[in-house]
Structure 1
């Protein structure tokens, strides 16, 4: 079983409270997702985030391919972190941890996503040129959009790594 991990960090010049208010509102996910992804929330985003919340989306991971994505918010520590896990969707496994930490001049957002692709060896062969590139584009867009919305800290070093972690 091949597992992959995406690890991203971004520093923004806002308070932890402001970052939490934005990131913990499921409706804001559409704002930080590229338009070409055809991202639409179908249900479950009408309340503040809570453990057990089920959110349904339509997403277009690649041209000509739309799919329903259902996630569950499994853990929430108000103002600190939350975890979403895919229940149905394009991945065999999707476990996404979101952390917030105060740093000088703002807040550091950290994402750790452990994921597995479907279709065995075929899925693994598509990772470098399809899935990995798509995730890099999504997170680059997100970084740019968050900088537009909240500003940027001069000299802040944002990070994005994707690696194989098992299998």
Structure 2
């Protein structure tokens, strides 16, 4: 059983409160997800984030195949971090930690995603050609979108 890790950091010139308000609002996921993924929230994003919150989405990650994705917000520490975990969806494991810390001139946002692809050995074979490039593309889109929205600290 191979577990992969995606790690991304980004610095933006905004306050902790503004970063938290944006990142902890599930409705903003659509803003930072590529349009071709057909991201649509079905339920669970109608109130501020809290531990135990279940959020249901539809995404179209590959070949126009719609996939239901259900995540649970498992941990929340206001203005510091939150964790979402997939309960149902395309991965065998998806554990996504979002950290925010104040730095000179703004905040640093850090994502750490531990994930496992389905289909055993076949999934592992597909990982470097399909899964990893797609995840890298999505997180690069997010990085550019956040720069567009908030600017960048170099």
TM-score category (smaller protein): over 0.9
Separation in 1, partners of 2:150, 2:37: 23
Match of 2:61 in 1: 61
Separation in 2, partners of 1:51, 1:152: 30
Q: Structure 1 residue 120 and structure 2 residue 129: aligned? A: no
C-alpha displacement of 1:64: 2.4
Secondary structure of residue in 1 paired with 2:101: strand
Match of 2:79 in 1: 79
Matches within 5 A, 1:93-132: 93-132=93-132
State how many pairs are aligned: 154
TM-score, scaled relative to structure 2: 0.99
Match of 2:38 in 1: 38
TM-score, scaled relative to structure 1: 0.91
Secondary structure of residue in 1 paired with 2:129: helix
Match of 1:133 in 2: 133
Match of 1:91 in 2: 91
Separation in 1, partners of 2:64, 2:36: 11
Is the strand fraction higher in 1 or 2? 1
Separation in 1, partners of 2:114, 2:136: 15
Secondary structure of residue in 2 paired with 1:76: strand
C-alpha displacement of 1:148: 0.5
C-alpha displacement of 1:152: 1.4
For the aligned residue pairs, the C-alpha RMSD in angstroms reads: 0.5
Q: List gaps (5 residues or longer) in structure 2.
A: none
Greater RCO (CA < 8 Å, at least 6 residues apart)? 1
Structure 1 runs of 4+ with >4 Å offset: none
